[in-house]
Amino acid sequence: MNTPRRAFTLIEVMASVLVLTFALTAACAMILYGLQLARSTHGLSLGMATAQAVFEDPSPIRTDPAFSSSGGTASGYLNGLWVERRETDVTPLEGPTGNTVAVTVHVDVRDGAYGTVYASITGRLIRRKP
């Protein structure tokens, strides 16, 4: 007896290839999105840690040798990020030594000199006159 052979038709093969293509494209898109989120999260956490460190101590990025009691600006790369620190609104404080001032400090941490801002901190700080 002659038994008929069972095989897939061209339409069935094309449909399965199309479904597989969509599934692989979606999987690749999810992997790329996860990598983008990981990079963004790393930038945000590193940016915030850098901003907090530079808020207290500008010495790692100090580029202006004339940093004075009237305020100043320091900027430069730190941890692979562009950091700008500005001191404004200098107020002398009265005390026994008379060598302390209160300043408003603003720190911006960016991806590059003109890139995306990852972190920004503004606050008052009491420090000694240089």
Q: Token digits for 123?
A: 């606050």
- Give the per-residue pLDDT at 111: 85
| DSSP one-letter string for 87-115 | EEEEEEE-SSS--EEEEEEEEEEESSTTS
Please determine, for residue 6, whether its predicted confidence score (pLDDT) is greater than 50.
Answer: yes
Confidence of residue 80 (pLDDT cuts 50, 70, 90): confident
- Give the per-residue pLDDT at 129: 73
Please determine, for residue 108, whether its predicted confidence score (pLDDT) is greater than 70.
Answer: yes
- Indicate the average pLDDT of the chain: 85
**Among the ranges 24-38, 55-69, 94-108, 111-125, which has the highest mean pLDDT value?**
24-38
Q: Where are the domains of the chain?
A: 10-128
Distance CA 120, CA 55 (A): 10
